[in-house]
């Protein structure tokens, strides 16, 4: 949970930095240079810019530029989303299985308590209460693990959705800028 929270905080910081530095640049290349290496937003910008600049060749020319750039930016956004979701499945698994592991420990403990009582031949409250109480601790431990895991999972998923909204917005805005830049350069190419 801590590492996922750290990743989300870092992505939100990158979003604020991209908003300031990328969109205030005079050109796409300058905006790209303003983004930090390893930034998710730099990755998206590089993907979109490279797609718009490298739309040539017999195979790629069969795909219109808009579709090509859209798919490149979409792939970059989905890669970022997949990286944000790493580890969340494990957290969900822990949250959903921990109560059952605790219950299994409880059943196992009660079984051993009943076996010991059967061997002793007496079933007084003091012979039953201690071992059964110890067995119930496993249920409490299972719940103590599961409840924070489920709450943490739900909280992190919600934060991922908010963080991904800024990523998708950046990708959509970049797409519009790239399509605007390519439409302006097309008439110039036709004049040559």
Q: Note the pTM of the prediction, 2 decimals.
A: 0.73
Q: Please tell me the least confidently modeled range out of 37-41, 108-112, 130-134.
A: 130-134
Can you tell me the distance from the alpha carbon of 166 to that of 23, in angstroms, rounded to the nearest whole number? Answer: 14
Which two three-digit tokens encode residue 76?
């970059």
Contact 99, 142 (CB under 8 A): yes
Contact 73, 175 (CB under 8 A): yes
Residue 37 has pLDDT above 80, yes or no: yes
Residue 190 has pLDDT above 80, yes or no: no
**Domain coordinates in residue numbering, the chain:** 2-191
pLDDT of residue 114: 80
The pLDDT mean for the chain works out to 84
pLDDT of residue 182: 64
Top pLDDT among 72 and 186 is at 72
pLDDT of residue 192: 31
The pLDDT of 30-34, averaged and rounded, is: 89
pLDDT of residue 191: 37
Can you tell me the distance from the alpha carbon of 98 to that of 143, in angstroms, rounded to the nearest whole number? Answer: 7
pLDDT digits (tens, 9 = 90+) for 90-125: 989 999 999 998 889 888 888 887 887 777 777 777
Top pLDDT among 135 and 191 is at 135
Residue keyed to tokens 């109480």: 133
pLDDT digits (tens, 9 = 90+) for 138-175: 889 999 999 999 999 999 999 999 999 999 999 999 99
Residue 42 has pLDDT above 70, yes or no: yes
């Amino acid at each position: 949970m801590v590492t996922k929270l750290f990743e989300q905080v870092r992505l939100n910081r990158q979003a604020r930095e991209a908003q300031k530095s990328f969109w205030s640049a005079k050109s796409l290349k300058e905006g790209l240079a303003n983004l930090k290496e390893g930034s998710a937003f730099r990755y998206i910008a590089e993907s979109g810019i490279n797609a718009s600049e490298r739309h040539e060749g017999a195979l790629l020319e069969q795909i219109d530029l808009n579709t090509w750039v859209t798919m490149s930016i979409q792939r970059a956004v989905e890669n970022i989303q997949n990286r944000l979701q790493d580890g969340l499945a494990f957290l969900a698994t822990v949250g959903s299985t921990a109560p059952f592991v605790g219950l299994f420990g409880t059943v196992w403990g009660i079984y051993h308590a009943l076996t010991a009582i059967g061997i002793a031949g007496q079933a007084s409250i003091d012979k039953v209460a201690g071992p059964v109480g110890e067995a119930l601790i496993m249920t409490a431990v299972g719940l103590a693990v599961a409840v924070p895991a489920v709450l943490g999972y739900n909280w992190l998923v919600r934060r991922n959705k908010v963080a991904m909204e800024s990523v998708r917005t950046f990708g959509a805005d970049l797409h519009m800028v790239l399509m605007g830049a390519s439409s302006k350069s097309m008439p110039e190419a036709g004049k040559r």
